[in-house]
Amino acid sequence: MNKEYVLSVLIPSRNEMFLGETIKNILKNIEGDTEIIAVLDGYTEPIPDIPKDDRVRILKYKESIGQRAATNEACKLSKAKYVMKTDAHCSFDKGFDVKMINEMHDDWTMIPIMYNLHAFDWVCKNGHRRYQGPSGKCEECGEETKKDILWKEKRNPESTSYRFDNTLHFQYWRDYKKKQKGDLVETMSIQGSCFMLTREKYWELNICDEKHGSWGQQGVEVACKTWLSGGRVIVNKKTWYAHMFRTQGGDFGFPYPNPGIKKAREYSRDLWINNKWDKAVRPFSWLIEKFDPPDWSNSKGILYYTDNKLDSKIMKICQDQIKVGAKQNKIVSVSLKKIGFGTSQITLPLERGYLTMAKQILAGLKSLDTDIVFFCEHDILYHHSHFEFIPPKKDVFYYNDNVWFLRLKDGHTLHYDANQLSGLCAYREPLIKHYEERVALIEKEGFSRRIGFEPMTHNRIEWKNKYGYESWKSRFPNVDIKHTTNLTNARWSKDQFRNKKFTKGWKEGENWKIPGWDDLDKLIK
């Protein structure tokens, strides 16, 4: 084809009985230079009747390659400025393509208003009708039924606002819809059955990342990639599409296997909550703070503890860095002498030691009134990206193992994946339960290696209140300053580790050089 199109409508389809109807509807309603590229992804059922038209191109795969891969293959054929992915069971507004293109910006992802599609009814010879669903005999008279194709949009409900919950599951968001004013409105996420963006952005953002698996989490992926790359997700209320929602079971279910969703969700949670997407210019927490969805409204606090043995100048540098990173987060400090740091300050008249440290932590946890707690020690430079993390589970302790060690006397730098108490983040209530149990045990038995420092990272003790633990990595590392007054000894060579598995990710850097920290030597000196 020599014609240059402005928009390519990409339709991945597998065993889709209504693909032909969808294509006919698009051809009927486009008013601009728009083409359709449909993918027959390993059909095991009869291929539907597809209109023959110069504006329609068909890709066929004998074996299924998956919904994301099929969309990518369709996009590879496009030369248009814009691409719109849509499901193979949708109806569209007259001139939807022109109405979308007229409002587009190059860094936006845009969707129309979404209605439900009343695609067909089951009708028997006696005229009884049953709303679209699995095939079967008439429920009123028992006669055989046939499809009566209607292909009509249902104007209620009218969906323009979407989000995901704290497990990254899709949700409609009716309350936020009340805040949307005008014809072009923002939405936190999308439903995934129809979206448009530039072809350049599609590839730049890898909008259908096949690492997610065949399908699932499409709306979360598209929305997060758009927002976190600096763009916007916009609903264009000047036009609409209608999407047919499937009824589970029989011959009218999902064409791709549901187990694929589990993989997609696990990958998606790790990618976004742990800020692992390398093209992000905004942290995931930015998106949560912007929209303030109800499931995510957990307050954050910082528990800062010190034994007052650190050089005061180093302590001040680390405190100032916490203030920069913590922003509006509440800070409770627990020290053995007055230090004048934090929004709330606790001084315990105790001697330095392991039991004292556990008591300091417990006192700070009880003083805080936030849902989430970040542990902060006096000799760590915390990068602001550390405080972007949001723990996805309430019964798991999370350790940021993106930490570099800095030997103060000569500036030597070292990294290995270390789960340290100074990198712990978790929900406050389980932390309180654990530290109440920990303090009682140390008071009874004294501190030992069996108890250890980092809660739940080994199985040497059968705690009454048992929680899980996981590692995560901030976008940029924290800096653990090793000096002469550390409570625990530093290890600078692999042979100092009895178990070499704890040296995973071993990397020695240049003196005073750590990623994300410019002029570190000047900051410290």
Give DSSP secondary structure letters for 245-294.
PPPSSTTSS-SS-THHHHHHHHHHHHHHHTT--TT-SS-HHHHHHHH--G
Query: Is pLDDT of 337 > 60?
Result: yes
- The CA–CA distances, whole Å, from 325 to 301, 315, 382 equal 12, 15, 7
Domains of the chain: 7-291 (3.90.550.10), 299-524 (3.90.550)
Q: What is the pLDDT of residues 403-450, one digit of tens each?
A: 999 998 889 999 998 899 999 999 999 999 999 999 999 999 999 988
DSSP run (H or E) holding 355: helix 354-367
| Strand-strand pairing, 162-164 and 170-172 | antiparallel
Per-residue pLDDT at 247? 58
Helix spans in 301-350 (H): 312-326
**Token pair 């600078």 is at which residue?**
492
28: three-class secondary structure by DSSP: helix
- The CA–CA distances, whole Å, from 115 to 31, 164, 240, 456 equal 21, 19, 7, 48
Query: Is pLDDT of 525 > 80?
Result: no
Cα separation, 324 vs 384, whole angstroms: 7
Cα separation, 126 vs 467, whole angstroms: 62
- The CA–CA distances, whole Å, from 171 to 67, 305, 427, 462 equal 21, 40, 24, 39
Contact assessment for residue 332 and residue 342, using Cβ atoms and an 8 Å cutoff = yes
Per-residue pLDDT at 273? 86
Query: Is pLDDT of 2 > 70?
Result: no
Count of other CB atoms within 10 angstroms of residue 493: 10
Beta-strand (E) ranges in 392-518? 396-400, 403-407, 413-415, 424-427, 468-472, 478-482, 507-509
Q: What is the pLDDT of residues 199-233, one digit of tens each?
A: 999 999 999 999 998 888 999 999 999 999 999 99
| DSSP code at position 23 | H
In this prediction, residues 296-303 reach a mean pLDDT of 87
Cα separation, 413 vs 506, whole angstroms: 11
Query: Is pLDDT of 249 > 80?
Result: no
Q: What is the pLDDT of residues 39-82, one digit of tens each?
A: 999 888 888 889 999 999 999 999 999 999 999 999 999 999 99
Residue 285: pLDDT band (50, 70, 90) is: confident
Sign of CA dihedral 187, 190, 195, 197: positive
CA dihedral 409, 412, 415, 418 (to 10 degrees): -10
Cα separation, 289 vs 515, whole angstroms: 26
Sign of CA dihedral 20, 21, 23, 27: positive
Cα separation, 88 vs 48, whole angstroms: 11
Residue 486: pLDDT band (50, 70, 90) is: low
Q: What is the pLDDT of residues 496-511, one digit of tens each?
A: 887 777 788 899 988 9
In this prediction, residues 151-162 reach a mean pLDDT of 94
Mean of the per-residue pLDDT values for the chain?
91
